[in-house]
A and B are shown apart, each in its own frame.
Chain A
Amino acid sequence: MAIIERPAEAPATTNRGSAPTPKASTNYGYLRRPVETTGWRSWAFTVDHKKIGIMYGAVAMFFFILGGLEAALIRLQLAGPDGTILSADKYNQMFTMHATTMVFLFVMPMAAAFANYFIPLQIGARDVAFPRLNALSLWVFVFGGVFLNTSWFLGGGADGGWFMYAPNSSVPFSPTNGVDFWGLGLQITGIASLVGAINLIVTVLNMRAPGMSMMKMPIFTWMAFVVQMLLLFAIPVITVALFLLMFQRSFGAQFFSVEAGADPLLWQHLFWIFGHPEVYILVLPSFGIISEVLPVFSKKPLFGYPFVVFSGAAIGFVGWGVWAHHMFASGLGPVSVAVFSVATMAIAVPTGVKIINWTLTLWGGKLTFTTAMLFAVGLIVQFTIGGLSGVTHAVAPSDTQQTDTYYIVAHFHYVIFGGAVLGLFSGFYYWWPKVFGKLLSEPLGKWNFWLMIAGMNLTFGPMHIIGLQGQPRRMYRWTEFRAGEGFFNLGFWNLVATIGTFILGVGILLFLINVWITHRPNSKTPPAPADPWDARSLEWITSSPPKEYNFARTPQVSQLDEFFHRKYEDVGEGDKHEYVQKMTGEEVIQFEEDNADPNIHLPAPSYWPMVLAFALPVMAYGVIYNTLLIVAGGAIATMAMFGWALEPADAESSDFDPPVEGDETSKELANV
């Protein structure tokens, strides 16, 4: 039974063989709905979670490169004594923007890319709960990230450090507009995250395929779900902090005026109440990714799935109680410090549970070290190192020596780079064939991996040493006189770190080259098989790439690792398991397609998300430059919201279907 019924021959006016653009009906609010199914408009106004996910990923990758260049400049400045590449002021901007870009414009959106693309697929849904809101999140992020970075051309980047402590961030000490761009830019991207969180939580709670209870969900979806809950409650806190800062800077409010009696700790609390859950927001998606990858390439189920789930939830929960460990040296007093120190030690436990479960997943498995698997194992090793230094920070007295030194820089780069980023790369290699229909080159991938490992360890490893030897963070240069001698010579290790940075850069470049070689016009890479890895979870019961509607019919789920169990039958007796293959992945997919739903109704594209997203930076420029822009932006936003509200979620049939003789047929949009 065919899903799509199309006219037997294409009408004469088609372009590039795609379906003709039909005449759209009018009368949706005040603009007609976009109807294009090919070309840039089909991407700009899409509400398809897969396209949105890809765009999130592409833009995030751009910001990764940008943040990497900022890091390279920092490392060049510190490669030798008395560096002259960056002035002190430029250096302040560089480390602030490097961190802000990496945290808010790379890791978070890249995780959002994976979450957006794969949550609906992993739970057997056709899209997220609110597709237009999903598009809004994307464009708000894109415009917000661009807005933030225009500061470079408009007076300089933000220069107060990525946690922007007050009163240093107020006008007397940071007189340029950089901090304003920072604060407003993060408010904008914060909206994207909050809206996305609501969307994905509702999707996970309410749109799972029949039979998929929460404890039968793929583990990536579980971790991403915990992350959305964290975002939901953490973003408002930084929102408050940012409003207070902006009111201080733009309107003269007194929140951080020490001379008026303000307490600088107010900012620190508000920021870190957000900031600590934020670091779990950064790393949990990658934990979810490798929890998918390790079982597939060990040919074993994830060890202790319920423990991995509950430890993820526990990390999310306990993570709210430890924020002041970022403030041990701020004068909180011994009681507060002691309480937060103990709480911080406690949170190592659920993380340790995960490490154990991943290790035991590998144990006794039939291991295949594909690039995705290498990155996954790499995460376990590198993140553990970062976690160990983290445990030393939890001990408040030793943290008093470590804080604000390179030892801390080492810690968080091991957990963020070694944890979050390696996990994301594992996800790239694992899911690339599903998303783009081709496998990335494995040989190139392995070079990518090993250079990244060598690079990151050469860059961040020595930072433990130089940090304990006393090199402070954020110091724009070091001198021979203070550099010390012998094994602990700061100069030597700074140089090693800089060399490591460039090795790291080459590794990442290899990834980009890998993508290019795989997808360039005359590429020799063949299309990927539907199930190249013999995978376990639901998103693989689709074509590669998936059709616009994801599943030919909504899958019925009966167990965890549903795809695996459709391919393999357990013929063991009693407690013993013995798996015999009864179907190939292709056969499972074909079976679904043969039993496809006759009618599939997809959400329709819309202009309004992009229009509304556009209004936000207009208002933000208005705060910095001219109040009229705030009014103009507000007007655009109001108009967009009304247009949105008046536009039905689903378009009329006549908007999309190629005209077909006879009855109502499906509304598939042609693939781009």
Chain B
Amino acid sequence: MSDSLISETVKDAVQIAKDHNGDVHEHDVHAGDNHSDDHGGHHTSLGLSNTKLAMWLFLGSECLLFGGLISTYMLYRNRHSENLGPDQLWDIPFTSATSFVLLTSSLTMVLAVSAANRKDLRNTKIYLGVTALLGALFLAGQIYEFTVFYREGLGFTTSLFSSSFFTLTGFHGVHVSIGIIMLVAMIGMLSKEKVSGDEAEAVEMVGLYWHFVDIVWIIIFTLVYLIPA
């Protein structure tokens, strides 16, 4: 049931090219190629969920977004005054702790999805709630960190390094915030049975978004914090 779209397409193309044979009128006469299975309900060409396809496409596009922000940071990471660079400012133990919090939230997220698949509504909501709390804790840590940097003299407009740093981590933080809103909204909608469509899938979609936010942080933590100037 899981077709390979690309290899089917290439096979079709090769067959069409073989039919070519130099004559003027050409066409593909393969009848009835049918990749879909009708389950007595709706028809989709690939037997896949539209929403899931959409989410993965969106995450693919987000790679270009964060890639651009990360590259800008990498270009400008050394352009700062002597005392206000990464080596002077970073508090690695603290950031490691907040990173660990975010990583844990990924675990609770995946457990929420698992519970949703089992139709275990109660645990789904609990795990979603814990995920949101851990996310909020991560954000609180970020905000605290930023206030410390600010007090030490690193503002948004201080240097190229600072602008890039705050933009990159700020965008990530906004994504986390939106994720928390989605998690809380999901808890509410599950409680009121207001989820249109498959509930487990909706939770899974929030999960995909949340994990993406986590993997962006995996990159940021290494490239921004752990690699010295």
Interfacial residues, chain A to chain B (CB-CB below 8 A)? 129-130, 194, 197-199, 201-202, 205-208, 210-216, 232-237, 239-241, 243-244, 247, 251-255, 257, 260-263, 266, 270, 300-301, 304-306, 309-310, 364, 554, 558-561, 565, 575-577, 579, 642, 645-649
**Known contacts A236-B65, A240-B69, A554-B43: A364-B24 contact under CB 8 Å:** yes
**Known contacts A206-B46, A211-B34, A646-B194: A253-B25 contact under CB 8 Å:** no
Please report the total number of B residues contacting A with Cβ < 8 Å.
60
Beta-carbon contact of A130 and B13 below 8 Å: no
The reply on B39 being an interface residue by CB < 8 A is no
Beta-carbon contact of B64 and A646 below 8 Å: no
| Chain A residues near B72 (CB-CB < 8 A) | 240, 244, 255, 266, 270
| Chain B residues near A211 (CB-CB < 8 A) | 31-34
Beta-carbon contact of B196 and A649 below 8 Å: yes
**Interface of chain B residues 11 through 56 with chain A (CB within 8 A):** 12-13, 16-17, 20-21, 23-36, 38, 43-46, 48, 50, 53-54
Beta-carbon contact of B16 and A215 below 8 Å: yes
Beta-carbon contact of A561 and B79 below 8 Å: no
CB-CB nearest in chain B for A129 = B50
Going nearest first, the 10 A-B pairs with the smallest beta carbon separation are: A240-B68, A577-B25, A215-B12, A236-B65, A236-B64, A253-B163, A252-B157, A558-B31, A306-B13, A208-B45
Pairs across A and B, CB under 8 Å, 5 listed: A210-B34, A252-B156, A253-B157, A261-B79, A642-B185
The reply on B164 being an interface residue by CB < 8 A is yes
Beta-carbon contact of A214 and B12 below 8 Å: yes
**Known contacts A205-B45, A214-B12, A261-B79: A240-B28 contact under CB 8 Å:** no
The reply on B159 being an interface residue by CB < 8 A is yes
Beta-carbon contact of B9 and A206 below 8 Å: no
**Known contacts A211-B33, A211-B34: A579-B58 contact under CB 8 Å:** no
Beta-carbon contact of B60 and A233 below 8 Å: yes
Q: How far, in angstroms, from A291 to B120 measured CA to CA in the complex? A: 53
**Known contacts A240-B69, A575-B21: A260-B27 contact under CB 8 Å:** no
The reply on B167 being an interface residue by CB < 8 A is yes
| Chain A residues near B25 (CB-CB < 8 A) | 300-301, 577, 579
What's the least CB distance linking A406 to chain B, in Å? 32
Max chain B CB contacts within 10 Å: which of A197, A215, A251, A579? A215
What's the least CB distance linking B225 to chain A, in Å? 21
Interfacial residues, chain B to chain A (CB-CB below 8 A)? 5, 8-9, 12-13, 16-17, 20-21, 23-36, 38, 43-46, 48, 50, 53-54, 57-58, 60-62, 64-65, 68-69, 72, 75-76, 79, 156-160, 162-164, 167, 171, 185, 189, 194, 196-197
| Chain B residues near A205 (CB-CB < 8 A) | 5, 45-46, 48, 53
**Known contacts A306-B17, A577-B23: A213-B8 contact under CB 8 Å:** yes
Q: How far, in angstroms, from A194 to B60 measured CA to CA in the complex? A: 12
**Known contacts A211-B34, A233-B64, A253-B163: A206-B27 contact under CB 8 Å:** no
Q: How far, in angstroms, from A246 to B13 measured CA to CA in the complex? A: 46
Beta-carbon contact of B54 and A129 below 8 Å: yes
| Chain B residues near A646 (CB-CB < 8 A) | 189, 194
Beta-carbon contact of A235 and B16 below 8 Å: no
| Chain A residues near B79 (CB-CB < 8 A) | 260-262
| Chain B residues near A237 (CB-CB < 8 A) | 64-65, 68
Max chain B CB contacts within 10 Å: which of A241, A554, A559, A642? A559
**Known contacts A240-B72, A559-B27: A215-B13 contact under CB 8 Å:** yes
CB-CB nearest in chain A for B38 = A210
Q: How far, in angstroms, from A646 to B26 measured CA to CA in the complex? A: 51
Beta-carbon contact of B185 and A645 below 8 Å: yes
What's the least CB distance linking B67 to chain A, in Å? 8
| Chain B residues near A207 (CB-CB < 8 A) | 44-45, 50
Contact of A206 (CB < 8 Å), options: B17, B20, B53, B185? B53
Beta-carbon contact of A232 and B57 below 8 Å: yes
**Known contacts A210-B43, A216-B28, A254-B157: A645-B68 contact under CB 8 Å:** no
What's the least CB distance linking A243 to chain B, in Å? 7
Beta-carbon contact of A300 and B68 below 8 Å: no
Beta-carbon contact of A244 and B167 below 8 Å: yes
| Chain B residues near A645 (CB-CB < 8 A) | 185, 189
CB-CB nearest in chain A for B30 = A559
Contacts beyond the supplied A210-B36, A247-B163, A253-B163: 19 A-B pairs with Cβ under 8 Å:
A129-B50, A130-B50, A130-B54, A197-B57, A198-B61, A202-B57, A210-B34, A214-B5, A216-B33, A232-B61, A240-B68, A240-B69, A253-B167, A262-B76, A263-B75, A300-B24, A645-B185, A645-B189, A647-B196
CB-CB nearest in chain B for A301 = B27
Q: How far, in angstroms, from A464 to B48 measured CA to CA in the complex? A: 51
Contact of B57 (CB < 8 Å), options: A201, A252, A576? A201
CB-CB nearest in chain A for B16 = A306
CB-CB nearest in chain A for B181 = A638
Max chain B CB contacts within 10 Å: which of A247, A309, A647? A247
Q: How far, in angstroms, from A212 to B33 measured CA to CA in the complex? A: 7
Beta-carbon contact of A233 and B23 below 8 Å: no
**Known contacts A214-B5, A216-B33, A251-B157: A561-B12 contact under CB 8 Å:** no
Contact of B167 (CB < 8 Å), options: A212, A247, A260, A576? A247
Q: How far, in angstroms, from A130 to B196 measured CA to CA in the complex? A: 13
Contact of B54 (CB < 8 Å), options: A198, A235, A300, A648? A198
Q: How far, in angstroms, from A559 to B27 measured CA to CA in the complex? A: 8
What's the least CB distance linking B129 to chain A, in Å? 19
What's the least CB distance linking A329 to chain B, in Å? 21
Q: How far, in angstroms, from A240 to B36 measured CA to CA in the complex? A: 39
CB-CB nearest in chain A for B162 = A254
